Amino acid sequence: MNDFDYQQLDDVIHSRIRLALMALLISVEEAEFNFLKEKVNATDGNLSVHLKKLEEANYISVKKEFIDRKPKTVYSLTKTGIKAFELYVAQLEKLIKK
């Protein structure tokens, strides 16, 4: 395959905000909505849209939990998400390291 073919990069991951979310989730295993929001510096609406897109691709899973009796939404990468992220990073590195 041609290393410079831009379509090799996974479009679901490549958007800046989703890339930041994936990179963050791979580093922390799981994270709560407000933590993600603060770290990637997104608005509620924008974050929701992009988390949904990652969930639809089966890259992240979502669970509702009660922490200190408050409902929280917790996100983590799925195995599919981890694999997709690793492939994305490998292809990205091939592209930028000429």
Q: Is 67 in the site for its own copies (CB under 8 A)?
A: no
Task: Output 19 or 60, the one with its CB closest to its own copies.
Answer: 19
Task: Output 8 or 78, the one with its CB closest to its own copies.
Answer: 8
Q: How far is the CB of 37 from its own copies (least distance, A)?
A: 11
Q: Is 87 in the site for its own copies (CB under 8 A)?
A: no
**Which strands form 30-32's sheet, in the order they lie side by side?**
30-32, 70-77, 60-67
Helix (H) or strand (E) holding 52: helix 44-56
Helix (H) or strand (E) holding 24: helix 16-28
